[in-house]
Amino acid sequence: MEAKAIEAFLLPLSQSGLFELLSPTPPGWGGNLLRGLFNSVQIALGAFGLGLAIGTAGAYGKLYGGPVIRDLLEVYTTIMRAVPELVMILLLYYAGTDLVNRALQGFGYSPIDISGLVAGIAVLGIVQGAYATEVLRGAILAIPQGQIEAARAYGMSPSLLMRRITLPAMLPFAIPGLANLWLIATKDTALLAVVGFNELTLETRQAAGSTKAYFTFFMAAGVLYLLLTLFSNVIIGRIERWSRRGMPSVAGGH
Amino acid sequence: MQDLPRRALRIPPHRIGLLVAASALVIFAALFMRWDWLPDYYGLALAGLWRTIWILVVTCVLGFVIAVPLGLAQAGGPLWLALPARAFCTTIRGTPLLLQLWLLYFGLGSLFPQYPWIRESELWPYLRQAWPYAVLSLTLSFAAYEGEVMRGAFAGVPRGQLEAARAFGMRRSAILRRIWLPQAIHRALPTLTGETVLQLKATPLVATITVVDIYAVAGRVRQDTFIIYEPLLLLALVYLCIAGIIVFAFRRLEARIPARLG
Amino acid sequence: MVNGLKMALAGLALGLASVMPAHAQALKVGIAAEPYPPFAAPDASGNWDGWEVQIAKALCEEAKLECEITPISWDGIIPALTTKKIDMIAASMSITAEREKTIAFSDKYYNTPTGIIGPKSETFEATPEGLKGKILGVQVSTVHEVYAKKHFGDTAAEIKIYQTQDEANADLAAGRIDAVQADSIALDDFLTTEQGKACCDMKGTVAEDVEVLGPGVGVGLRKEDTELKDKINAAIKGIRASGKYDEISKKYFDFNIYGD
């Protein structure tokens, strides 16, 4: 009786042909998932890089910019941190390409074709930029003021100061926040599924819809995302140790 | 001395410029964009807004209630409790919420036909609907993120205080209730504002599993009328307002709690 | 510090400019990014195929246009057309007066009846009385959504709106909803899958309502692209006359999908 119940429970699971479905070569759908994962990582890398660039400029603007720039940056970071990414993605995805093309036409250039990959990177990058601005601003503020003053007293130019003093000195303070942003970037790529970009989540949904094996595929995609996160954590740990070389071990233990 | 109160009121000149620019934008939007769809969707939008807020509040409260034991287990629990709690937090934080939501709703749903007895169970009226899955997955997500915060908060309470309590002969449950928990929660409070706003930003995902929240209503307007920007802009404004209210409410709450306990 | 901003902006502009594809003149044919068999679905190697994909390719060939099949979210497919992300829609989109306010349509290239499916264990008809007290699922932004609201809105317990047809079917199989209304061919396809065979059967076709359901499915186009519209209309006539249309259809259907 009991054996039968267990059998009734396990049979449907074994019937779903787990390994055939997930095999990396057709007719298995594993290849699609891996391709989606590759796209997701690509977008996450691009968005994180763009966010870092915006964040650096934003942090400097917030700290040393004029009053107008500071206010505008405040508006930017407030909006990005309060409005759901999903809404921003839709707004920037439709409006962004439209505006870029209209601006180009206004200046007499021919409209360009913005691929889903670039649009995705731009949209997530702009959202990431707001968070990166705050992280980097906090990190720059955490540098002991004396270091910057000493560099100025030596007559360092602003660009040299940024390259040799500010950036390296703020790195240990910025890395935990930036690491968190990277993890958010990898997960936010899933939201691009809503605008039809073929990243891991959409590939998974298509595979699941075509084979009706929803549970199997969503679990498989979850494992892939988790592996990505765990792998990132290992790398982040190394970077963190590297950035703290030569510093007393108390840093970060708040 | 006389211009002291005036100085407090004066707005810097560049802000006036910015405000003028902002109001010009708003007026432009009001005059030249299409808002004729608003009356038709007014009722639906209110119902959607209510559902968004309802889901936000319920999942934050439930999530926090789960986060406390999760944090405690990781900070001071035995290994057989700490490890599963740690694994739970890592898994939830390491995968996208959208995927978790779909796994729960569509993944579990696809298993239902294979187990017919589920449809006869008493839970079936709830399993049939979409909102329980939305609440469950948002709650688990909030619990995992806040559980990580609570772990740090429990670990951050100075050891000396707990040792002093033990020296006074307090029982372990009393130490937890009177010393450890209140201080940990107090330490975690500042992060709650940010986590709640993040939770707000996660709520529109429930629209993808047929829960009609405010985001879904904006989507409906776009799909019915093919007007793209107006509903989305208004939607962004609504989220900005809710986020503003959350920040304001937590600031009031924090102001009422003394900075130093005892 | 303003320099930093400027540099970032310049970098952004450069990045955008560098992505201009070399073959910008290829027309983008938008299909729904959600599988909609037998009309369009990706296979395990990620290529989209199906009756409609083949028809779209045949139309481009006939009109001597260079085309690129571009999957795009159904939910945003009309905005994608109007904001020039794609140039045509070949996604089983029915020609309706409501949509014609925003976009233009070619002549129809197929027309099939609308059906309703439900669990095998229950018997009911595809009428307002038959759906009394039932939860009916439809796909968002389809003629079926409009039709269901108009005809079944009063009697059905709830009309649930899904982002994709697959999700509606999955929820029917899971028992969360009692019926699904959609194109009868898409439903037939679902009923031949293992999941569909086990759970559900066709309850019937709904009463005709040309005003809502439209005269058939056409290629969606921007209103200003009248030249393209003429080319596509000529191509539809062309492949019907040359036998190409029937050749493709025979691979998928054993009846006349064009309608009368």
More confident residue, A57 or C21: A57
Mean pLDDT computed over every residue of chain C:
88
Strand-strand pairing, C200-205 and C114-119: antiparallel
Token duo for residue C225: 């692209």
Residue C119, preceding bond cis, omega within 30 degrees?
no
Residue C12 within any structural domain of the chain: no
Average pLDDT over residues A51-65: 94
Q: Is residue A112 part of a domain?
A: yes
Domain annotation covers residue B49: yes
Residues 143-202 of chain B whose Cβ lies under 8 A from any Cβ of chain A: 197, 200-202
**pLDDT tier for residue A16 given thresholds of 50, 70 and 90:** low
**In the prediction, which pLDDT does A55 show?**
96
pLDDT digits (tens, 9 = 90+) for A212-224: 889 999 999 999 9
pLDDT greater than 70 at residue A94: yes
Residue C17 placed within a domain: no
Interchain CB distance below 8 Å, C175 and B113? yes
- State pLDDT tens for residues B109-146: 988 888 888 888 899 999 999 999 999 999 999 999 99
B138 within a domain of the structure (yes/no):
yes
B107 touches chain A (CB under 8 A): yes
Interchain pair C2, A202: CB under 8 A: no
pLDDT tens string C61-110: 999 999 999 988 888 899 889 888 899 999 999 999 889 989 999 999 99
> For residue B61, how far is the Cα from the chain centroid?
9
Cα(A114)–Cα(A121) distance, integer angstroms: 11
Facing residue for B98 by CB, picked from A12, A190, A230: A190
User: What is residue A3's predicted lDDT score, i.e. its pLDDT?
Assistant: 55
C160 part of contact set with chain B, CB < 8 Å: yes
Does pLDDT of C18 surpass 70?
Answer: no
Average of per-residue pLDDT across C132-155 = 94
Chain B residues within an 8 Å CB radius of C163: 208
Tokens standing for residue C81: 């057309």
Q: What percent of chain A has pLDDT over 90?
A: 46
Return the CATH number at C209. Answer: 3.40.190.10
Segment C37-67, tens digit of pLDDT: 899 998 888 789 999 999 999 999 999 999 9
Residue B126 CA neighbour count, 13 Å, CB half: 8
Contact C82 B128 (CB under 8 A): no
Q: Picking from B246-255, C99-108, C179-188, which range would have the lowest pLDDT averaged per residue?
A: B246-255
Domain harbouring A46, CATH code:
1.10.3720.10
- 């915006």: which residue's tokens? A54
Q: What backbone phi and psi angles, to 5 degrees, belong to C71?
A: -70, 135
Check A187 against B95: CB less than 8 A apart: yes
* Summary mean pLDDT of chain B: 90
B touches which chains (3+ CB pairs under 8 A)?
Answer: A, C
Interface membership of A79 toward B (CB under 8 Å): yes
Q: Are residues C105 and C126 in the same domain?
A: no
C166 contact B CB<8A = no
Within a domain: C219:
yes
Please answer yes or no on whether A113 and C43 come within 8 Å at the CB atom.
no
Residue A70: both structure tokens together: 């500071």
Give the whole-number percent of chain B exceeding pLDDT 90: 63
Q: Are C197 and C120 members of one domain?
A: yes
Tell me what pLDDT residue B200 has.
Answer: 97
ipTM for the predicted complex comes to 0.86
- What's the gap in Å between the CA of B217 and the closest CA on chain C? 12
How many structural domains does chain A have? 1
| Range A43-68 average pLDDT | 94
User: Domain for residue C14, yes or no?
Assistant: no
Answer whether residue C10 is part of any domain: no
Interval B59-76 mean pLDDT: 94
Q: How far is C179 from chain B (nearest CA, A)?
A: 14
Q: Which residue has the higher pLDDT, A172 or B88?
A: B88
A87 has a chain B CB within 8 A of its CB: yes
pLDDT bucket at C162, cuts 50 / 70 / 90: very high
Average pLDDT, integer, range A118-128: 90
pLDDT band, very low/low/confident/very high, at A159 (cuts 50, 70, 90): confident
Task: Count the domains in chain B.
Answer: 1
- What integer is the mean pLDDT of A5-32? 67
Is the pLDDT at B242 greater than 50? The verdict is yes
Per-residue pLDDT at A119: 82
- Chain A residues with beta carbon closer than 8 angstroms to that of B236: 79, 83, 87-88, 91
Per-residue confidence (pLDDT) for residue C153, from 0 to 100: 93
**What pLDDT is attached to residue B193?**
92
pLDDT at A204 over 60: yes
Range of the domain at C189: 114-213
Per-residue pLDDT, averaged over B169-197, amounts to: 90
- Categorize the per-residue pLDDT at C226 as very low, low, confident or very high, splitting at 50, 70 and 90: very high
What pLDDT was estimated at residue A44?
96
Contacts of C141 in chain B (CB under 8 A): 223-224
Q: Is A40 on the interface with C (CB under 8 A)?
A: no
pLDDT band at C252 (very low <50, low <70, confident <90, very high): very high
Task: Indicate the residue of A65, A207, A209 with minimum beta-carbon distance to C1.
Answer: A65
The model's pTM: 0.86
Weakest mean pLDDT among A155-159, B79-83, B253-257, C97-101 = B253-257
* Residue C192 placed within a domain: yes
B102 and A88 in contact by Cβ < 8 A? no
Taking the alpha carbons of A77, A81, A82, A85 in that order, is the dihedral positive or negative? positive
A87–B235: do the CB atoms touch at under 8 Å?
Answer: yes
Contact between chains at B240 and A79 (C-beta distance less than 8 A): yes
What is the domain count for chain C? 2
Please give the pLDDT value at position C216: 93
Position C234 in a domain: yes
Based on the domain organization, do C118 and C139 belong to the same domain?
yes
Q: What angle do CA A206, A212, A216 make, to 5 degrees?
A: 85
Q: Does B113 touch chain C (CB under 8 A)?
A: yes
Domain shared by C224 and C96, yes or no: yes
Cβ separation B98–A212 shorter than 8 A? no
- CA A228 to CA A154: how far, in whole Å? 45
Confidence of residue C19 (pLDDT cuts 50, 70, 90): very low
Report the pLDDT averaged over residues C212-233.
95
**If DSSP states are collapsed to H, E and C, what string results for C138-173?**
EECCCHHHHHHHHHHCCCCCEEEEECCHHHHHHHHH
In whole angstroms, give the CA distance from residue A236 to residue A243: 10
A27 and chain C: CB distance < 8 Å anywhere?
yes
% of chain A exceeding 70 in pLDDT? 90
Task: Please give the mean pLDDT across all residues of chain A.
Answer: 85
DSSP state of C260: -
Cross-chain residue pair C164–A209, CB shorter than 8 Å = yes
Tell me which chain A residues have a C-beta less than 8 angstroms from the C-beta of C85: 97
> Can you give the pLDDT at residue A248?
65
Q: Is the pLDDT of residue C3 over 60?
A: no
Distance (Å, whole) CA A119 – CA A124: 9
Whole-number Å distance between alpha carbons of C201 and C121: 9
Q: What string of H, E and C letters represents the secondary structure of B114-148?
A: HCCHHHHCCCHHHHCCCHHHHHHHHHHHHHHHHHH
With bands split at pLDDT 50, 70 and 90, how would you rate the model's confidence at B239? very high
Q: Which residues of C touch B208 (CB under 8 A)?
A: 163
Is the confidence at residue A8, as pLDDT, over 60?
no
CATH number at B243 reads 1.10.3720.10
Place of tokens 């990058």: A125
Mean pLDDT confidence for A110-131: 85
- Among B214, B125, A76, A184, residue whose Cα is nearest residue C135: B125
Q: Measured between CA atoms, how close is C210 to chain A, in angstroms?
A: 31
User: Which chain C residues are closer than 8 Å to B220 by Cβ?
Assistant: 161
**Residue B182's domain spans which residues?**
34-256
Q: pLDDT band at B9, cuts 50/70/90?
A: low
**pLDDT at residue B1 in the model:** 45
| Cβ neighbours, 10 Å, residue A252 | 12
Which range of residues forms the domain containing residue A110? Answer: 30-243
pLDDT value, residue B258: 67
Please indicate, yes or no, if residue A251 is contained in any of the structural domains: no
Q: Which residues 17-36 of B are in CB contact (within 8 Å) with A? A: 17-18
Length of chain A: 254
Interface with chain B: mutation pick from A73, A74, A87, highest number of B CBs within 10 Å: A87
Quick check: is B217 in a domain?
Answer: yes
Rounded to an integer, the average pLDDT of C11-20 is 46
Nearest CA in chain A to B94: A226
Say if residue C188 is in the same domain as residue C203.
Answer: yes
Same domain, C88 and C130: no
- The answer to whether residues C87 and C209 belong to one domain is no
Does residue B143 form part of some domain? yes
User: What phi and psi, each to the nearest 5 degrees, are found at residue A68?
Assistant: -65, -45
As a dihedral over the C-alpha atoms of residue C9, residue C10, residue C11, residue C15, rounded to 10 degrees, the angle is 100
Mean pLDDT of C153-157: 94
Dist. CA C167–CA B107, nearest whole Å: 11
Contacts of C73 in chain B (CB under 8 A): none
Mean pLDDT calculated for residue range A158-185: 90
**Quick one: which of A165, A171, A137 has its CA closest to A251?**
A171
The pLDDT value given to residue C98: 86
B110 closest CB neighbour out of C79, C162, C170: C170
pLDDT for res B6: 53
Nearest residue on chain A to C19, alpha-carbon basis: A114
Answer yes or no: is A237 within a domain: yes
Is residue C244 in a domain? yes
- Show residues of chain C in contact with A118, CB under 8 Å: 15-16, 19
**B243 inside 8 A of chain A by CB:** yes
- pLDDT (0 to 100) of residue B227: 84
